[in-house]
């Protein structure tokens, strides 16, 4: 892993976005909150094969909500789609980090999301500290990108309420 990660959209990926997806939150590997301090909501990949078939693995940003949580409020998110090389995963995962502090878990609830932009490809890291720093940088990149008017336009998309 190099010290500098190039972040930003590639034209090829932009043509495949926005990505609309939804699914019931399932139990993941249990590393997000416990090991990384960055909780994630995991979705079942099997149910999203059609939506994801043309989406390259990597880290994305967008908006997401959880039906029945905080009046269905929509939150910024950073999302990983793929195999986490640091943990040597053999199973593809979809892990969404809602950029908000929640007081409880929401396993079984429906999460709806709209992926709007590509942050970076999957990459390996030499240490847990490097991984955590990269994820926090991804979150900062997501927040900054979602401030753009073209991305704010999706915040009130009907998809989150229908």
Dihedrals phi, psi of 96, to nearest 5 degrees: -110, 125
Calpha distance 122→83 (Å, rounded): 8
CB 64 within 8 A of CB 74: yes
Q: Tell me which residue of 139, 150, 138, 144 sits closest to 5, measured CA to CA.
A: 138
Q: Tell me which residue of 97, 77, 82, 100 sits closest to 31, measured CA to CA.
A: 97
| Residues tagged active-site | 95
Encode burial over 82-115: b for 16+ CB neighbours within 10 A, e otherwise: bebebeeeeeebbbbbbbeeeeeebeeeebbbbb
SS3 120: strand
């Amino acid at each position: 892993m190099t010290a500098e990660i190039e972040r930003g959209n590639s034209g090829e990926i932009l043509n495949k976005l926005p990505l609309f997806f939804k699914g019931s939150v399932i139990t993941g590997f249990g590393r997000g909150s416990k090991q990384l301090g960055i909780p994630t909501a995991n979705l079942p990949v099997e149910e999203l094969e059609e939506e994801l078939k043309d989406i390259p693995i990597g880290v994305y940003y967008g908006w997401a909500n959880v039906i029945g949580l905080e009046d269905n409020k929509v939150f910024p998110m950073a999302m990983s789609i793929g195999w986490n090389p640091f943990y040597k995963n053999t199973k593809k995962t979809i892990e969404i980090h809602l950029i908000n502090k929640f007081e409880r878990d929401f396993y079984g609830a429906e999460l709806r999301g709209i992926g709007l932009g590509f942050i970076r490809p999957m990459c390996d890291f030499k240490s847990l500290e490097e991984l955590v720093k990269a994820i926090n940088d991804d979150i900062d990149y997501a927040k900054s990108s979602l401030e753009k008017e073209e991305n704010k336009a999706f915040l009130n998309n009907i998809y989150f309420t229908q």
